[in-house]
Amino acid sequence: MKFYHAATPDIMNRIVESGVIRRSWDGVVYLCDNAVDAVKFVAIRGAKIVQEIEVDLDEEEVKESHDHSEAFFGCKAYTYDRDINLTETVKIEEYAVG
């Protein structure tokens, strides 16, 4: 299933250069099942430019996250408990926020 991870351009450049989306300090990669929803989580922290990357993961290995207000964000968030190795072909989209 397709999931989306968002980051600022500098962080996304590091992801692409390393070929890996690394788990955050709390041991998971945060994802959404919609690209625009993933962008919301970075934009809320004040980023003016946000990029998202599409990854294909086994839906069984992705868990719903309950660390945010679904009512506030208008979407669900998900977690993946391993680093995500990127394929040779990655699709990155950029959004101007605000």
- pTM score, whole prediction: 0.93
Q: Give the span between the Cα atoms of 24 and 4, in whole angstroms.
A: 15
The pLDDT, as a whole number, for residue 16 is 94
List pLDDT tens digits, range 43-83. Answer: 999 999 999 999 999 999 999 999 888 888 889 999 999 99
Pairing relation of β-strands 92-96 and 49-56? antiparallel
The pLDDT, as a whole number, for residue 32 is 97
Measured CA to CA in angstroms, residue 12 lies from 15, 57, 59, 69, 74 at distances of 5, 19, 23, 25, 24
Q: Is the pLDDT of residue 87 over 90?
A: no
- Domains by residue range for the chain, with CATH: 2-96 (3.20.170.20)
User: In the structure, what pLDDT confidence band is assigned to residue 98 with cuts at 50, 70 and 90?
Assistant: confident
The pLDDT, as a whole number, for residue 72 is 87
Q: Give the span between the Cα atoms of 33 and 16, in whole angstroms.
A: 20
